[in-house]
Structure 1
Amino acid sequence: MPISGKTRVVVHLTYPAKHLRTPEFFNPLLERLGIDGVLVPWEVSPAKLATAWEGLRAIENLAGVIVTVPHKLEVAKLCDELHGTARLLNVCNVAKRMPDGRFSGRMFDGDGFVAGLKKQGHDLRNKRILLLGAGGAATGIAHALLAEDIQALVISNRTPGKAEALAAELQQMFRLRQVSAGPADASGFDVVINGTALGLKSDDPMPLPVETLVPGTVVGEVVMNPDITPLLSAAAERGCVIHKGAHMITGQIDLLAAFLFSQSGV
């Protein structure tokens, strides 16, 4: 990929950066599309995020930012405008820099995750789904799942109040869908999704008791590195169908590229 003085830059904001796999998918896509751009990782701690963000406003060849753990909720607050799911849920995973230095945010994690499931042949119709987590990525995924013809969605979080608040908010948006908060127990579910960062570090606890998983259950991840997380490994051993975290980004990279490099801010 040739880089010149005309190349537009996309910054990937995260902390830490060592788990990132998005550049290995996104940069080849830009090359295939003939877009003169490049994605580079920026490791920015939560304490320094606001300072880094203000600096990005002045970078005139910046196309925008892609955002991952742990910044999705905070970046939504730093954006000057939000659209689509980002505006509804106040969370975003991508922000486009406008010519005047303002940022326009969107949220494609949910659409990407659901698209990834479908590309792998997983039918969501009439399925009971357990979603682990109530943070930025999980919130976007919950919204996208409820737009599908699922039977029920249960949200579980280590802080139960966060799961209850998110479930109540989503129930107001999707009155015809069954959505509630519940325990991290896979019993009786067709699909289980880890929407937390648990699995990034080797000493992370499991996001749920793996003994509750039964053969045939689809177990999905948002964690992309390692490729096979401890949860996916345990699920495979129990006869589950595993769905890698990488499918979430491959399901949305076209949306990300189109948003960041289009002439429109929305």
Structure 2
Amino acid sequence: MTETVAPQGNHPISGSTRLYVVLGDPVTQVQSPALLNPLFARWGMDAVLVPVHAEPERLERVVRGLQDAGNVDGIFVTVPHKPAAAGLADRRSPMVEVTGSANALRREADGRWYAENFDGLGFVAGLVAAGHDPNRERVALVGAGGAGSAIAAALLAAGVERLAVCDPDTAKLEALRTRLDAHWPGRTRTSAAPDTEGAGLVVNATPLGLAPGDPLPFRPDRLAPGRVVADIIMHPRETRLLREAAELGHHVHCGIHMLDGQVDAYRAFFGFAPPVRATTRAGDVVRRAPA
């Protein structure tokens, strides 16, 4: 019988509670507090993760204030702040240097801040767990922002045969291609509009789908039959893109799987303990967590 982690009740916050925050604009869609706070309680950790709404023009001020607060141990970062967050750390991982973005910052023992990016690792791990191994696959990726750049690097590292990345910001797109080509030469092509021809896996790594009236990031009706259509948006779980793709007979892969794939990586990075059991799924925790 598969065991899942359920909330263990409200954990009391005291003067000794260690703080973690997730920054975004917007921030109402984030799922990480519903995932991690029940785990903190189960593990007996005196810690809490809270969402913080930071508009782009105030991001640096917000981050610097959090970094100066002595009881803040970690910062999670979501759309649209991942590229900017990479520049607000004292040290950066090789993945951050390649992608130019970060989704997690931790306070080091010396007080400095170290940046990492787990989006790509989590996305690929979620794909593999769902039976969609990208090795030797042709992939189309829409969006070259913080999450998209991390996913691009992780897909190439996972052995995709060809990666087509599109983004209307051509300067950002070409900068990403230059960084990717330095590690995986000749396997990436870029365009301003979606290039899904021949792709077996097509990924939306843009915010399109967060709001009900958003346009589609690409046309699923133009894909060859039986493709895998993935979205990194976690709320709503079923975006318009995934709904229409499923109606056309494509295989769909929802955004919560990316968070599933990051749980153990976050545990190791921040030193959360004990280890997350392999049977625990982030989607199960989120669905069981209180609203």
* TM-score with structure 1 setting the length: 0.92
Instruction: Confirm or deny that 1:236 pairs with 2:226.
Output: no
Contact 1:185–1:209 (8 Å) recurs in 2: no
- 1:14-40 alpha-carbon deviations (Å, 9 max, x no partner): 111111112112222333444332110
Partner of 2:45: 35
Assess if the C-alpha contact under 8 Å between 1:27 and 1:39 holds in 2.
yes
Looking at structure 2, the residues matched to 236 and 127 of structure 1 have their Cα atoms a distance apart, in angstroms, of: 20
Q: Deviations over 1:44-101 (max 9, x none)?
A: 1011111111111221111110000010011111111111301333210000023554
Q: Report Cα offsets for 1:131-179 as digits up to 9, x if no partner.
A: 001110000001100011221111011234433332232122113x621
C-alpha separation between the residues in 2 aligned to 1:32 and 1:147?
34
In 2 relative to 1, CA 205–32 (structure 1 residues): closer, same or farther, beyond 3 Å? same
SS in 2 for 1:115: helix
What residue number does 2:196 align with?
186
1:250 pairs with one of 260, 267, 271: 260
1:11–1:66 Cα contact (<8 Å) kept: yes
| Alignment pair present for 1:142 and 2:152 | yes
Answer whether contact 1:85 1:107 (CA < 8 A) is retained.
Answer: yes
Percent identity between the two aligned chains: 40
* Residue of structure 1 equivalent to 2:19: 9
Aligned equivalents of 1:33, 1:258: Cα separation in 2? 14
Q: Which range is displaced more, 185-194 or 1-10?
A: 1-10
CA distance in 1, matches of 2:102, 2:68: 21
Task: Give 3-state SS (helix, strand or coil) of 2:87's partner.
Answer: helix
Aligned pair 1:60/2:70, yes or no? yes
Distance 2:229 2:50 in 1: 30
Task: Give the 5 Å matches for 1:82-231.
Answer: 82-175=92-185, 178-182=187-191, 183-231=193-241
Q: CA RMSD in A?
A: 1.8
- Name the count of aligned residue pairs: 262
Over 3 Å counting, the alpha-carbon distance change for 1:34 and 1:115 in structure 2 is farther
Unaligned runs of 5+ in 2: 1-9, 274-291
- Matched residue SS, 1:234: helix
